[in-house]
Chain A
């Protein structure tokens, strides 16, 4: 099964999870997702997701000057974002449990 297809549904949660630990700019979020094992995540997907979560009011952003290039736009979780993270985590856990049971049964 193509992991990128699975990723689409849970990328919001993955990004929220990364930002819950620490604020991050786009490329930083991407690196942390890859480091966590999500190798197939695309640059544009991460930037797009950050933008959408921000537009949905789940993130705040601030700009930090960078020594190496353009200014970096950092994203941080706000209260609605944290709330969304808790909901999504619950949904994911129950979904994952269900899928594990389902897959385990049929094996």
Chain B
């Protein structure tokens, strides 16, 4: 029976020896290590089961002594401490592992940033990207001219443990699923090219970018995949690339870039019907100052502002300014402009804080997963106090919408008085209220009272 696998203790010994021969030309080191391997397997056979690190060392000396003897007898340059010998190799190997970790993390974060960026606005991923590229360049410098098997890495305790873990996975009780997963490796080589294509679609859109990027990625991926298994130096390229791709996938999913299927969520797209561009700026051309965003009113988050004129006609596309001429907006306005299962919200109304009032609002339908955007019309109507000499009105108070108004800040039902959908700005309506309905509701709902106040304030000051 042919059993070419070296006893684990002997394999560790071989790795130690290989590390001390790492400065030799790769072909020569390979030849001599083949001999060492044969020697070790003969000694293992000779020890007949009693193979321990100690028994091996008693027979052959320490790996260092063995390698030194080998070098002397083979006429290789003697091992020097300052040369590419034991100590400097050791430091480099550890730095290389550290470099791999850094590039892995940087690539992963870059991938998330790339995948989650919308409309190319968020560019923070450039920083981890640059860091990863810089470290990767250092890695490449150190890897240049190394042996493909990277014995100095394999000799690190990390490398040994990783190999032992891999060995136990391949032969242990999980051998079957592990083998199955290993068989999926080539599927992953295709899948990661696919993710790159999707990423190109998200970032650049169109057809040719994704197709071109996908084809190039597929070629590169199929080239790299099998080679990285043979030439361990390519691990320093494959691992960051995989991390980048996986990060991009997570980023795209997390940011809801891939439109979920219709079953899990209803899509709502909102196209502003007003003439204002999606990215609204103040008249001076600069974005709104965060300091001029209105936050709360009486401890409640201010969710919208519904302007009416003195005749009670709802106004549309109103801009508000403070005493310094700064445009006012709504803080935290994105809250109720997201919809969908947790983690996959779509920001349906971009730049809401700078849109004119009343702003479009998101109506969450019962069940929570579906929602739609309603144009910025008031979900209620008001009654205006009558000035002397004007048309008589029975009640100076506001008309409270009946029932439970404004659940979660977004009214789901329109008040009965204004019919569903609230009055259209086009057909201006002033609705005097029947006197009997107003008084009971008004104190019951502070929010109603609030809107009544704001609606009545100008009228009172004018009278």
Contact = CB atoms under 8 A, between A and B. Distances in A.
Interface of A: 11, 25-27, 42-52, 55, 65-73
B34 A11 contact: no
A55 B29 CA distance: 13
B75 interface: yes
B60 to A, nearest CB: 6
A45 B36 CA distance: 11
Interface in B70-87: 70-76
A43 B66 CA distance: 8
B43 interface: yes
A27 B42 contact: yes
A48 B41 contact: no
Q: Which of the listed residues B61, B70, B76 has the most CB atoms from chain A within 10 Å of its own CB? A: B70
* Contact residues of B: prevailing secondary structure: helix
A68 to B, nearest CB: 7
B60 A69 contact: no
Given A48-B71, A49-B73, A69-B45, 16 more contacts: A42-B60, A43-B66, A44-B66, A44-B67, A44-B73, A45-B70, A46-B73, A48-B69, A48-B70, A51-B74, A55-B75, A68-B2, A69-B3, A69-B4, A69-B38, A69-B42
B122 interface: no
Interface in B206-221: none
Contacts of A48: 32, 69-76
Nearest to B65: A44
14 contacts: A26-B39, A27-B42, A42-B60, A43-B59, A43-B60, A44-B73, A46-B73, A47-B70, A48-B73, A48-B74, A51-B73, A52-B75, A69-B4, A69-B41
B7 to A, nearest CB: 10
A11 B45 CA distance: 25
Contacts of B32: 47-48, 51
Contacts of B69: 42, 44-45, 48
A27 B38 contact: yes
Interface residues of B, number: 31
A53 B73 CA distance: 10
Contact of B43 (A43, A45, A55): A43
Nearest to B42: A27
Nearest to B44: A69
Contacts of B70: 44-45, 47-48
B73 A11 contact: yes
Nearest to B63: A44
Contacts of A69: 2-4, 38, 41-42, 45
4 A-B pairs with least C-beta separation: A48-B73, A48-B74, A44-B69, A69-B41
B15 to A, nearest CB: 16
Contact of B39 (A27, A52, A55, A68): A27
B37 A68 contact: no
B4 A43 contact: no
B426 to A, nearest CB: 90
A26 B38 contact: yes
A73 B37 CA distance: 11
Contacts of B42: 27, 69
Contacts of B1: 67
A4 B291 CA distance: 87
B35 A50 contact: yes
A51 B31 contact: yes
Nearest to A31: B42
